C-alpha cells in the first residue's frame, strides 16, 4: 500500500482528525508502525509486544506510546485501526508440520471484536492463516481485501513474501479497485529505495530498519516498513 491509499483511508472515517489512531499488536521492533507513520495518515497510540528486547526498542523510538506486554490483557482499545502481523510460526512451512507456537489469531480477533476499529491491517507468511482471519472478520461485518506482496516488490534484493489483509467497512468494489491500482505502482514507487550503498550499510539483514536494530530474532520477525508505507 502506498501513501495515496493510506491518505484515502484516513479521510474516509475520521474527517475531524488528521490521523487515524492505531493500535499495533505483536509490534516487534516497530516495522509495521514505522511504515504506517511514514505515510502521515496514522498515529500509533498503543503497542503490544511480549518480548523484552523488542519492547525496549519500541520504548526507544516511541517513548510516549502506551505499551501492553500481553495481548491477553487487552479487552478493548480506543482506536480507529488495529494492525498486526500475528505470529506466523504455527503456519510457516519452516516448521515442517510441527506445532512450534501458539496460534494467536483468535486473541487478535477478540481484541478487534471488543474494540470495533474502522480498519484492520494484518500480515502473515501463510495464505491459509490470512484466509482464516478474513473469514472471521467477515463475520464481524468487514469487507476484505487480500494481496500477496513481497520485499522484492518493493525493490529489495530478497523475497520475504507475505500475505496482507485490509478489512474495511466500505463498498468493496471501489476499495478493491483502489488497492489494485496502488499495489500495481509498487515497483515504480519503490525504485531506488534499495540502492547498493544502502544495502551495503545494513547489518546482517537488510529490511529498511535502523542499522542499530540488528538482532537476528527481531529482524526475522519484523515487518518490512516499505510495504505498509
Active site residues: 88
Can you give the residue ranges of every domain in the chain? 3-220
Residue 66 pLDDT: 97
- The superfamily CATH assigns to domain 3-220 is Vaccinia Virus protein VP39 (3.40.50.150)
Is residue 123 classed exposed, middle or buried when 0-12, 13-18 and 19+ CB atoms within 10 A define those classes? Answer: buried
Count other C-beta atoms under 10 Å from residue 215's C-beta: 16
The Cα–Cα gap between 165 and 130 comes to 7
Identify the pLDDT of residue 92: 55
- Taking only the tens of pLDDT, the chain with its 229 residues reads 434 444 555 555 444 557 899 999 999 999 889 989 988 889 999 999 999 999 999 999 999 999 999 999 999 999 999 999 998 665 555 555 544 456 899 999 999 999 999 999 999 988 999 999 999 999 999 999 998 886 555 555 555 678 999 998 865 445 555 555 554 544 554 444 444 444 444 444 444 555 444 444 444 455 555 555 5
CB distance 64 to 6 below 8 Å: no
Predicted confidence at residue 228, as pLDDT, reads 57
What is the per-residue pLDDT for 18? 79
Annotate 188-202 with DSSP letters as a single string.
Answer: HHTTTTT-HHHHHT-
Write down the pLDDT at residue 156. Answer: 52
Q: Which of 119, 173, 108, 121 has its CA nearest to residue 147? A: 121
Rounded to 5°, the CA angle 70-68-45 comes to 140
Contact present, 28 and 49 (Cβ < 8 Å): yes
Q: What is the pLDDT of residue 87?
A: 84
pLDDT of residue 149: 80
Q: Residue 57: which of 229, 203, 225, 212 has the closest Cα?
A: 212
Amino acid at each position: 500500500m502506498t501513501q495515496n491509499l493510506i491518505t484515502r483511508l484516513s479521510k474516509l472515517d475520521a474527517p475531524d482528525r488528521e490521523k487515524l489512531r492505531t493500535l499495533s499488536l505483536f509490534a516487534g521492533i516497530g516495522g509495521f508502525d514505522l511504515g504506517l507513520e511514514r505515510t502521515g495518515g496514522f498515529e500509533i497510540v498503543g503497542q503490544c509486544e511480549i518480548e523484552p528486547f523488542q519492547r525496549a526498542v519500541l520504548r526507544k523510538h516511541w517513548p510516549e506510546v502506551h505499551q501492553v506486554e500481553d495481548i491477553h490483557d487487552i479487552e478493548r482499545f480506543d482506536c480507529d485501526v488495529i494492525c498486526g502481523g500475528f505470529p506466523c510460526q504455527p503456519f510457516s512451512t519452516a516448521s515442517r508440520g510441527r506445532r512450534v507456537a501458539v496460534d494467536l489469531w483468535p486473541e487478535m480477533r477478540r481484541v478487534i471484536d471488543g474494540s470495533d476499529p474502522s480498519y484492520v491491517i494484518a500480515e502473515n507468511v501463510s495464505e491459509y492463516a490470512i484466509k482464516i482471519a478474513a473469514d472471521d472478520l467477515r463475520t464481524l461485518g468487514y469487507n476484505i481485501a487480500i494481496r500477496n506482496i513481497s520485499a522484492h516488490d518493493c525493490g529489495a534484493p530478497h523475497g520475504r513474501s507475505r500475505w496482507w489483509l485490509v478489512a474495511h467497512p466500505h463498498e468493496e468494489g471501489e476499495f478493491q479497485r483502489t488497492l489494485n491500482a496502488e499495489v500495481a505502482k509498487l515497483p515504480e514507487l519503490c525504485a531506488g529505495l534499495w540502492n547498493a550503498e544502502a544495502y551495503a550499510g545494513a547489518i546482517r539483514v537488510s529490511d529498511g530498519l535502523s542499522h542499530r536494530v540488528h538482532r537476528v530474532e527481531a529482524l526475522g520477525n519484523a515487518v518490512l516498513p516499505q510495504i505498509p508505507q
